[in-house]
Structure 1
């Protein structure tokens, strides 16, 4: 009996111990879990705070700054400059390719040869107006002949296919001025120097504005709204002068210093407009550009105003010629 009573007491004691032990362990686990969660939350908060503040409050030592500058110099020196230049040239080439007339070479030669033959057949004293009219009549006749070939008409003398005729028609209609420039046959616009008392309908006379800077000497023979042609003695894109008088003086000085056999400047062309000056080439001509040129027989490129026909072919051309130029004795 004593043994049975002792066993019951022992089971009761141990049963109570098991419950207490379980409660203690669970409590400890909960406390540890809460502690771990708190530590994780605190570390994340500190990390984000440090990162956000470091973006604005980073301070470098002089040694670190010197190393970063050295690293930037090394990285800049290691840039593939030649490759970048090649890419620029390719991009420029693609842009120029878009501007070109998509016409087979033999058709361009055909157009060039026929127009040259036409111009040679004109009288020697034919003026610009007669040349332009002759070329325009040739273009209209050639378009008519090409359209007949496309429609399958007989008695067509063009020795090309109907597909080539369609390409020729497109080029001569939509890109005629560009085609003329590509084949090297450019006829200057008609220059009209007649003075009329009455203004033409729909147009306004341009006002003569005084040139900035010191007066231009008489020996410079300055002509406003004028652009003379000639071979470049000094490239104006990199040659700027404060005034038209200074540009003319540069021409006179170059002619005096020129060595035997070198071209002597006898034409100066200056851009007095602060907005820059228009030209039918690919360059952007800026204020105070000074071109020094030479020509045995100076010829005008443009005078006073650009003609309506020229402006229709070159939409970016202004109404008035912005350049001022003059011919001096070399």
Structure 2
């Protein structure tokens, strides 16, 4: 074993390296244990003591906390919360708009027009609105009766009764807008006849836009009837040519079972066009229609007897129309 020799006061002291190492290690262990002891006391003992003193509430403090909780619950706006929930449900219902098939919409449109035709020609807008409102209520009653099996000889299909009742009730505004139902406060069509004597009565000027091809069969001062497959109130075209092309395109794109456009009616007049209905017809309206046997409503000019019955009617038929082959 290796040994070292130290000299002290003339005497030699022998000490082994192993004994020195053991002494140093013992000192280090004692230091480490002391440090761990101090860390343990600072991290665990003190927070524990603090927590014991922090969460000790007196009975009076507990009573006050319970009272504050009761006051907070009592002050909640219960009625307001219920109202907000009802509004949310209403908004969710409104978002789910009923989508009716095109043939069902067409039936409703036909019935509304029939009801309006039965109104006196001199009736004002309020009377016309009342007539439509009476029809709507009758139709809702008819549809609901059909749902419950209490209605016979109805024009409504049983499988569509529920949707029609809802569409005419909660979704009536959206449905009316989609069908183009709009009754103006007052419709006045005035004709300014300032042509010199002897000049041709009919306007023979060339229609604006591209020249119409032969397949459009365009007829000036002509208004054809038929069921609308596209409402002109919301369907405007820049020229009669584009209106005719829209009809031909509609016929090509129609799905099996759908009505194909075979009649187009266009308003080229900048001051609007006249028609014996509830609407105010404006320039560039393009009506796409279908009729198995197309029939004329008016040709060239309105008769004197008709103008006596309809004072707002002009002398000349302002529309230009055409019957196409599909």
Query: By the TM > 0.5 criterion, same fold?
Result: no
Structure with the largest fraction of helix: 1
Aligning the two structures, in what range does the TM-score lie when normalised by the shorter sequence?
Answer: 0.3 to 0.5
Bigger radius of gyration: 2
* TM-score, with length taken from structure 2: 0.40
The TM-score, its normalising length taken from structure 1, stands at 0.40
